[in-house]
A and B are shown apart, each in its own frame.
Chain A
Amino acid sequence: MLTVSEILGIEKEKIARRQPSEEDLRRIPLERPGRIFGRLSDPKQIQESLQSMAELAALVRLARQDGFQTELSNEEVESRLEAIKQSDSDALRYWVDGQLIVDLRDLGISGRLGPDKRPALAEFMADLSRGEAPEVTGTIYLSSEGVSRLSRDQDRIIGPQLLKLMKQANCRVRTPYDILNPRIDADWRELREGFEDAAKESRHLQEKHFGPKKREKAKKGEHVGNQVTPGFIIEIKGYKSNGSYIFGKWQPYPPHAEIGIRILQEYIRCGGSKYKAAQALRSTVFPFFPEELKYMETRSSLRNCLKTQAGYIITPEVIEGLTRQLALIGTWKWSDILIENNHPAIAPLDLFGEAYDLSRRRGNKPRGRAAYYDPLDWDGLLRCVNHESPRRISGHGSDGSWVCALDYHNGTGPICLDINHRIISDPLTREFLKCLDLSSHARAVFDEVQQRAAATEEEEPKRKREEAHLKSRLANLENYLGDSDSEMEESYRRQIRQAKADLRALQNKPLPAPVTSVDIDRVRRFLGNLEDEWQKLSSTLRNHLIKMLIDHVDIAHDQYHVRATVIWKIGFKQRIDIERPVGNSRRERHWTEEQDSLLRLLWPTSTKEVLLAAFPNRQLGGIRGRAAKLGLERRVRHYPPQWKGWTVSDDNRLAAQYVTETPIEDIAAELGRSKQAVLSRACFLKIKRPREIRFGFPKVNWEVLNFYGLEAVSSLLPPIRVA
Chain B
Amino acid sequence: MKDERLTRYVEVGLPHLRQVSRLPEYLVPDVADVAHELGDQAMLKLAEPLGLSEGIKSLLNQSPEADSLPGEIWEVDIGRWQAVRQVVPVTLALLRACDKVEALERRGVAGMNSATTVRGLATIAFATFAPNGGKILDRLAGILGGNPAEPAALLNLYVKAMENGDKDTLADVEECILQYPAWAEWSKRFIAEGMAFPFIPRVIGVSPVPTGELIRLLAAMIVEVTNADRIRDIRN
Q: Give the B-binding residues of A (Cβ under 8 A).
A: 434-438, 440-441, 444-445, 448-449, 452, 513-516, 518, 522-523, 526-529, 533, 536-538, 541, 544-545, 548-549, 568-570, 572, 579, 699, 701-706, 708-710, 713-717, 719-723
B207 close to A445 (CB less than 8 A): no
Q: B170 → chain A, closest Cβ, in Å?
A: 19
Chain A residues positioned under 8 Å from B226 (CB to CB): 515-516, 518, 522
8 Å CB contact of B89 from A438, A441, A714: A714
B221 close to A441 (CB less than 8 A): no
Which segment of B21-29, B117-125, B188-196 sits at the interface?
A: B21-29
B112 at the interface (CB under 8 A from A): no
8 Å CB contact of A448 from B76, B100, B219: B219
Cα A710 to Cα B222 with chains together (Å):
35
Closest to B214 in A: A548
B103 close to A702 (CB less than 8 A): yes
B224 close to A713 (CB less than 8 A): no
Given contacts A549-B208, A722-B79, contact A434 B219 (CB under 8 A): no
B204 at the interface (CB under 8 A from A): yes
B222 close to A570 (CB less than 8 A): no
Q: A698 → chain B, closest Cβ, in Å?
A: 12
Cα A434 to Cα B216 with chains together (Å):
22
Q: Give the A-binding residues of B (Cβ under 8 A).
A: 20-22, 24, 26-27, 29, 75-76, 78-80, 84-86, 88-90, 92-93, 95-96, 99-100, 103, 106-107, 149-153, 199, 202-210, 213-230
Cα A514 to Cα B230 with chains together (Å):
11
B207 close to A440 (CB less than 8 A): yes
Chain A residues positioned under 8 Å from B205 (CB to CB): 435, 437
Chain A residues positioned under 8 Å from B27 (CB to CB): 708, 710
Closest to B223 in A: A515
- 6 A–B contacts, CB within 8 A, in A order: A437-B207, A448-B219, A701-B107, A703-B99, A715-B89, A722-B20
Q: B36 → chain A, closest Cβ, in Å?
A: 13
Cα A584 to Cα B226 with chains together (Å):
39
A720 close to B20 (CB less than 8 A): yes
A-B contact count (CB 8 A): 153
8 Å CB contact of A705 from B99, B149, B206, B216: B99
8 Å CB contact of A706 from B75, B86, B99: B99
Chain B residues positioned under 8 Å from A441 (CB to CB): 210, 214-215, 218
Chain B residues positioned under 8 Å from A704 (CB to CB): 99, 103
Chain A residues positioned under 8 Å from B210 (CB to CB): 440-441, 444
Given contacts A441-B214, A445-B218, A720-B22, contact A452 B223 (CB under 8 A): yes
Cα A452 to Cα B219 with chains together (Å):
9
Q: A529 → chain B, closest Cβ, in Å?
A: 7
Closest to B78 in A: A722
Given contacts A441-B210, A448-B216, A710-B92, contact A529 B199 (CB under 8 A): yes
8 Å CB contact of A537 from B22, B100, B219, B225: B225
Given contacts A528-B199, A713-B89, contact A449 B214 (CB under 8 A): no
Chain A residues positioned under 8 Å from B29 (CB to CB): 437
Closest to B33 in A: A439
Given contacts A515-B223, A701-B103, A715-B151, contact A544 B24 (CB under 8 A): no
Q: A582 → chain B, closest Cβ, in Å?
A: 14
8 Å CB contact of B84 from A527, A709, A720: A720
A541 close to B221 (CB less than 8 A): yes
Q: Which of B96, B205, B209 has most A Cβ within 10 Å?
A: B205
Closest to A711 in B: B92
Q: A548 → chain B, closest Cβ, in Å?
A: 6
B24 close to A435 (CB less than 8 A): no
Q: Which 5 A-B pairs have the closest CB atoms?
A: A722-B79, A437-B205, A703-B103, A448-B219, A715-B89
Chain B residues positioned under 8 Å from A522 (CB to CB): 222, 226
8 Å CB contact of B100 from A536, A703, A710, A714: A703
Chain B residues positioned under 8 Å from A536 (CB to CB): 224-225, 228-229
Cα A448 to Cα B80 with chains together (Å):
46
Chain B residues positioned under 8 Å from A717 (CB to CB): 85, 88-89
Cα A449 to Cα B89 with chains together (Å):
42
Closest to A442 in B: B218
Closest to B29 in A: A437
Chain A residues positioned under 8 Å from B206 (CB to CB): 435-437, 549, 568, 570, 572
Closest to A427 in B: B106
A710 close to B103 (CB less than 8 A): no
B76 close to A722 (CB less than 8 A): yes
A708 close to B227 (CB less than 8 A): no
Chain A residues positioned under 8 Å from B107 (CB to CB): 579, 701
8 Å CB contact of A548 from B79, B100, B202, B213: B213
Chain A residues positioned under 8 Å from B230 (CB to CB): 516
Cα A441 to Cα B209 with chains together (Å):
9
Q: Which of B152, B224, B225 has most A Cβ within 10 Å?
A: B225
Q: A180 → chain B, closest Cβ, in Å?
A: 46
Q: A444 → chain B, closest Cβ, in Å?
A: 5
B207 close to A449 (CB less than 8 A): no
Given A435-B203, A703-B100, 18 new contacts (CB under 8 A): A436-B208, A440-B210, A441-B215, A445-B219, A448-B218, A516-B223, A516-B230, A526-B225, A572-B206, A701-B106, A702-B106, A703-B103, A706-B203, A710-B92, A713-B88, A714-B89, A715-B151, A721-B79
